[in-house]
Amino acid sequence: MSSSVFYVLSDSVGETAELLAKAALSQFKDQNMKIQRIPYVDDEATMVDAFHLAHENNGMMAYTLVKPEFRVKMRELEQEFGIVAIDLMGPLLEQLENHLDEQPTLQPGLVHKLDEDYYKRVEAIEFAVKYDDGRDAKGILKADLILIGVSRTSKTPLSQFLAHKKLKVANVPIVPEVEPPEELFQVSPEKCIGLNINHEKLNHIRTERLKALGLDGSANYAKEDRIKKEIEYFNKVVEKIGCDTIDVSNKAVEETANVILRKIKR
């Protein structure tokens, strides 16, 4: 068989059509057909040019076009040029529309937008892990948001929850014996949020935590005097930074996250 070209047209990058074309061609042992992608088709002139190319190169075509008027034009050109042009998207969209009883958005490239969102989420999760618990102060300067608070104020789970919302979050523990990193005072106060907590609630949380670890619940870590000292120091740091605080005493992680997301939107 003489060589020919399989043209794949798309109103986005054209990966879907190309993959399907490759999968189909792989089923034929003796074929000498090249695949040429024509992406970002957004006018009828591009379609006409593609049919001229197919005519000159003994070609056939397949396309993934979401706009109905573009698919109608392709069918008209298929009849005019006498060249096979396979609609890979239209029939599936129509069947889904009937099954779901919902109009499609007809917006090109949404699958790649979903992919982009996925990778941003993964990147944010990796960021939260890398810069958890003040491990590397450099993360403070790179973060979308910095959470500060004393131990057991849900900084880590909150960072992870917000990472799933594609926010790069660093968190920094506030301990009286340790100077907060200088980077904390170099970023905009609007990027920082202090997690405040009632000392009695924190006493209960820490006591239960120690017991869960098989340790004495009366250790200094859970003593009220120690907790009050930590909270007092935390308040001084917050005042120096000039950032907002959220009382997490009786809030689940999801509730605190929603408060933060509303603040960011404002």
Which residue ranges are tagged as binding site for ADP? 149-156
Question: 80 has which bridge partners?
Answer: none
The β-bridge relationship of strands 4-10 and 169-173 is unpaired
Q: Is the dihedral of CA 125, 148, 242, 140 positive or negative?
A: negative
Three-state secondary structure of 139-207: HHHHCCEEEEECCCCCHHHHHHHHHCCCCCEEEEECCCCCCCCHHHHCCCHHHEEEEECCHHHHHHHHH
Q: How many helices (H) and strands (E) does the chain have?
A: 10, 8
CA proximity to 66, closest of 6, 8, 117, 12: 12
Annotated binding site: which residue ranges? 149-156
List Cβ<8 Å contacts ≥24 apart for 17-24.
17/62, 17/63, 17/64, 17/88, 20/62, 20/88, 21/62
Q: Token match 């890979």: residue?
A: 88
Q: Token match 């957004």: residue?
A: 42
Phi first, then psi: give them for residue 168, nearest 5 degrees. -85, 110
Question: 195 has which bridge partners?
Answer: 149, 246
